[in-house]
Structure 1
């Protein structure tokens, strides 16, 4: 049925709930679960606009990439506690909805399982967040929104 299930994670409770559903599906289908955290690329100009000036200034993408890696690692640990078997984690830079859709097509994903709302705080959708709406509307495969 499903060979590859993509679970976009962003550190939100809803993303972990979606991961729990993906693990349940994995037990039925023996599919591989791919965890993906997408961070938004920030230019040095954008970084210079902040009023916060830490002593150890990191390039924004490096700090965001590290945080995204931590989100994926936390999701991997969470899934392992629920006896998930085949897990791979990925971190990508870009616009979340576009990057998720492109990644799913590139990796020949059969199903995307994602939370209805993430950490972005967007209020574009009344019932679903803007990222989950865009992914559900444009993905090449079925999308289960939790």
Structure 2
């Protein structure tokens, strides 16, 4: 039924539960691929310039955030393989998480998006769901499973 499942991870418990659910689904469907995505928030030069301490060389935190996101993806891939996942790929992107997840799902032709109900930076905007999972579920063109 699903050939490609996109799992958005951020290192939170909820996102790792979403990964577990994607692994369960993969085991039920031969040939299904799990695509893991971690999105870090891109910081502009303007945002970096607003800091109280202004170093001579403005260093945008994107590099550090990208490295952290790579670690999150690698950890998720290792966990997936430990739990029996077979076809697993991982990606890191910068930008607004909900928009990037939806666009990435379209670009990779994902049949299903699996997200955690609350991530590491949840707020009240999403009411009962985290704001990212709420926006992804409302914007995605493919089915979205919120775990």
Question: Could you tell me how far 1:58 is from its partner in structure 2?
Answer: 4.8
Counterpart Cα distance in 2 of 1:51 and 1:3:
48
Normalising by the residue count of structure 2, what TM-score does the alignment of the two structures yield?
A: 0.91
- Partner secondary structure for residue 25 of structure 2: helix
* Map 1:1-146 → 2, pairs under 5 A: 1-30=1-30, 31-51=32-52, 58-146=59-147
- Partner secondary structure for residue 124 of structure 1: helix
| Contact 1:43–1:60 (Cα < 8 Å) also in 2 | no
| Distance verdict in 2 for CA 1:69–1:45, change over 3 Å | same
- Partner secondary structure for residue 88 of structure 1: strand
RMSD: 1.8
Higher mean displacement: 37-46 or 90-99: 37-46
- Partner secondary structure for residue 36 of structure 2: strand
Gaps of 5+ in 1: none
| Distance verdict in 2 for CA 1:52–1:77, change over 3 Å | farther
Corresponding residue pairs, total: 145
- Partner secondary structure for residue 129 of structure 2: coil
- Can you list the C-alpha shifts for 1:18-74, whole angstroms capped at 9, x where unaligned? 0000000000113100000011110233224335789xx853111111011011011
Normalising by the residue count of structure 1, what TM-score does the alignment of the two structures yield?
A: 0.92
